[in-house]
Structure 1
Amino acid sequence: MSKTLKIGIIGSGGIAKAHIAAYSKLPFVEIVAVADVIPGKAGQFVESEKLVGAAAYDGHQKLLEQDLDGVSICTPNVSHHITTVDSLRAGKQVLLEKPMSVTFQEALEMTQVAKETGNMLTLGFQPRYDPNMKLLQDIVQSGRLGKVYYAETGGGRRRGMPGGTFISKKLAGAGAMADIGCYSLDMALNAMGYPRPLTVSAFTSNHFGTNSLYHPEASKFEVEDFGVAMVRFENDLVLQFKISWAMHMDTLGATMFLGTDAGLKVTPAGKGPWSGVWDGAVGSISLFHDEYGGHTETPIPLVEHKLNLFDEKVRDFAEAVRDCRPAPIPGEQILIQQAIIDGVLRSAEARREVSIELP
């Protein structure tokens, strides 16, 4: 007899609804509890989402006292650290929405607690479940490119600035770099096997967010809406990382990997002012190489699929809990990109290159 997993949801905003919808498609999962820091909000969520029999709690501590196999953490960024640490120490397996945390030190403690307790901490990067992202990883790690010495990733929305908790330095920690930049970093770093970063030299700005012509909450806008960085890694590898919530341009260019034997160019799918970043699907993959003395470009056929990537993320977590598998996207990996984002912000503020110190 297969076990029914008891899952709790911490945070009852819009992203929690997506988790509920994904869990509802899994016959071996039951949502038994919801918590929110705002009094009464969890109860309203349970009622509106028709979660029959689920308990509602004002705050996550009471929820963690219940008999649960795992939790989805769907809170604002500022709460990711404490809810994750408390959940892991309470013996729960954790699926955490991106970005991992507000600060690097928070992310470091989260990974340390996961290791100490032996409980799972996996991060919610659904683009990884696109078969074409896996194809990209296979190509880069196959050796076809030779030694990869330079990579470039990022993207930009013509207009795509969020508001509310996303633009508060205290609540979000960072702006575009953490919100959509984390997807770009994960795509490139995962393809290259998450190399160890050494230094960062970066620039950030928020010309659009702080201008009332472009943002209705300009007076409250505290984070970056644009950033660019050069990251140096071990083994003579450098990465150019650039991201934008708003700009007077159609694109910041494709993601690319330059190798000694070949190069790879990847474009995102989607059109319109909110597209152009790696929170969606792959648009095209092209291999640039020399054959018989001539410059050759080979289009790589994309894998056709109808997967709901968000559903795949939640399903993989639930099955990993059920089958006692390791974390699908472990915190130890995402800690590296948190270190890079932390370095970007420190470098931009200091207006010089800074070192990245990893344990």
Structure 2
Amino acid sequence: MTSEIRIGIIGTGGIAHAHARAYKQIPSAAIVGVADIVPGKAAGFVAAEQLEAEPYTDHRELLSTDIDGVSICAPNAAHHRLTIDALRAGKHVLLEKPMSVTLDEAIEMVEAARVSPGMLTIGFQPRYDPNMKLVQEIVQSGQLGNVYYVETGGGRRRGMPGGTFIRKELAGAGAMADIGCYSLDMALNALGYPKPVSVSAYTSNHFGTNPKYHPEADRFDVEDFGVAMVRFERDLVLQFKISWAMHMDTLGATMFLGSEGGLKVTPHGTGNWSGVWDGSVGSMTLYHDLMGLQTQTPVPAIAHQKDLFLEKVRDFADAIREGRPAPIPGEQILIQQAIIDGVLRSSEQRREVAIELPLLGDSAGAS
């Protein structure tokens, strides 16, 4: 492997610009190709980002070049096909969340990564916040004892996207996949990604389908709210709730309840688009007994100036150069895809449904 990592970008939507800006800050990485199925879009992106890169309308042409890895920034419905093609071409893949539209797609993607010389890592930049890492350290330190109940998720009072995000054929799911995946990753990564066994859920889209609240109400066919109770092995339950829009200020903090202590974590930020775990941590409080007295201890937040998106992209490039495993492997995110799949099935069937994970291996643990 040369010292310079040669990168391609597939898909030139809004998030692709964040990837391009991040790569340009990494001296060891160079964007050498960009692909978009819409004629002219790749060339326009190259010009807008002032890249010395070749534009393509067929991603397979890009994958046939001597690039080392790709950032996949296409709509959710294209994640599966593009990832499979890249892995079969032997390229490393940084895939934007959510991992896939269906559970079967996610399983095929993991299978492809296991036989490919390329790795598959999923883009969850909040993991690079030192406060998120502190949450994980506290939960896994044993201070809470046996963790038996977790409550996670978040709610925007108003924060509904449009375009490809609200069409099931392109997005697969709505709030669950868009911002719920961050909430799940926060909690599951702290817990070591335990294996789920069943879920009972409810979803709705009262706001998205109402023209009073959304300008594309006639095209809105995904959920804007969801709540679920997920059961895991080792007698653990998780309450998961998410909302793009609601008549409430918050759906509450994330909580870890253990036999020896509890941890409450609030999200960072204020306003209509805040209240979810796509950002940082606002505050943390540890609840425990001390000398027989009920005690609560504030956990000081770690001040930092890290660009979390840059950290995500840099870790991918460094992993390629150093020959390291995927920073956030598909085997982990397959678990949350199974949960989201179970949520949607349970909501449609209006009953509890089983979750089956045929491909869980030893590599599906916390990082």
Superposed pair shares fold, TM > 0.5: yes
Q: Please tell me the residue identity of whatever aligns with 2:314.
A: R
What's 1:296 paired with? 295
Deviation (angstroms), 1:40: 1.3
- Separation in 2, partners of 1:241, 1:311: 28
Aligned partners of 2:48, 2:284: CA distance in 1, in Å? Answer: 42
Equivalent residue, structure 2, for 1:335? 334
Say which SS state the counterpart of residue 96 (structure 1) adopts: strand
Deviation, structure 1 residue 2: 6.3
CA distance in 2, matches of 1:49, 1:126: 22
1:284 match: 283
* SS of 1:352 mapped into structure 2: coil
Match of 2:353 in 1: 354
Secondary structure of 2:231 counterpart = strand
CA contact (8 A) 1:158 1:249 kept: yes
Deviations 1:250-289 (A, max 9, x none): 0000000000000000000100010000000100110000
Give, in whole Å, the separation in 1 of the partners of 2:335 and 2:313.
23
Give the equivalent residue in structure 2 for 1:199.
Answer: 198
Q: State the 1:338 CA deviation.
A: 0.1
Gapped regions of structure 2 (runs ≥ 5): 359-367
Superposed counterparts of 1:132-281, under 5 Å: 132-281=131-280
What does 1:61-76 align with in structure 2 at a 5 Å threshold?
61-76=60-75
Provide the residue aligned with 2:56 in structure 1: 57
Cα 1:328–1:272 change in 2 (3 A) is same
How many angstroms apart in 2 are the aligned matches of 1:68 and 1:14? 23
DSSP 3-state at the match of 2:185: helix
Distance 1:3 1:190 in 2: 32
Residue 283 of structure 2 aligns to a residue in which SS? strand
Tell me the equivalent position of 2:101.
102
Aligned counterpart, 2:82: 83
Q: Find the counterpart in structure 2 of residue 312 from structure 1.
A: 311
Distance (Å, rounded) in 2 between the aligned partners of 1:2 and 1:307: 28
Contact 1:202–1:351 (CA<8 Å) still a contact in 2? Answer: yes
The equivalent residue for 2:122 is 123
1:31 is paired with a residue whose SS is strand
SS at match of 2:284: strand
C-alpha contact (below 8 Å) 2:98/2:177 kept by paired residues: yes
CA distance in 2, matches of 1:321, 1:6: 10
Q: 2:98 aligns to what SS in structure 1?
A: coil
Aligned equivalents of 1:324 and 1:212: distance in 2? 51
User: What is residue 6 of structure 1 aligned with on the other side?
Assistant: 6
- TM-score, normalised on structure 1? 0.99
Percent identical: 72
User: 1:31-64: CA deviations, max 9, x gaps?
Assistant: 0000001111101111111112x10000211110
- Do the aligned residues in 1 keep the contact of 2:68 with 2:92 (CA within 8 Å)? yes
CA deviation digits over 1:238-258, x for unaligned, max 9?
A: 000000000000000000000
Q: Is the 8 A contact 1:123 1:331 kept in 2?
A: yes
Cα distance between partner residues in 2 of 1:195 and 1:208:
33
Could you tell me how far apart the structure 2 residues matched to 1:154 and 1:171 are?
23
Q: How do 1:5-24 and structure 2 match up within 5 A? A: 5-24=5-24
Distance 1:118 1:292 in 2: 55
Once residues 24 and 285 of structure 1 are traced to their aligned partners in structure 2, the CA distance between those partners, rounded to angstroms, is 34
CA distance in 2, matches of 1:120, 1:307: 25
Cα distance per residue 1:208-249 (max 9 Å; x no partner): 000000000000000000000000000000000000000000
- What letter is aligned with 1:44? G
Q: What is the rounded CA distance, in whole Å, between the counterparts of 1:299 and 1:15 in structure 2?
A: 35
Which residue is 1:30 aligned to?
Answer: 30
1:112 matched to which residue of 2? 111
Partner of 1:180: helix, strand, or coil? helix
1:231 maps to amino acid: V
- Cα offsets for 1:289-332 (capped at 9, x unmatched): 01122110000111110000000000000000000000000000
Question: Structure 1: how far apart are the matches of 2:236 and 2:84?
Answer: 34
> What is the CA–CA distance in structure 1 between the aligned matches of 2:40 and 2:315, rounded to whole Å?
31
Q: Helix, strand or coil for the counterpart of 1:119?
A: coil
**What amino acid maps onto 2:153 in structure 1?**
G
Residues matched between the structures, number? 358
Give distance in 1, aligned partners of 2:288 and 2:49.
Answer: 52
Report if aligned partners of 1:2, 1:28 keep a CA contact under 8 Å in 2.
no
Query: Residue 228 of structure 2 aligns to which amino acid in structure 1?
Result: A
Contact 2:91-2:117 within 8 A present in 1 as well? no
Amino acid at match of 1:205: S
TM-score under structure 2 length normalisation = 0.97
Q: Is the 8 A contact 2:284 2:299 kept in 1?
A: yes
What is the distance in 2 between the residues matched to 1:303 and 1:349? 42
Rounded to whole Å, the distance in 1 between the matches of 2:97 and 2:58 is 20
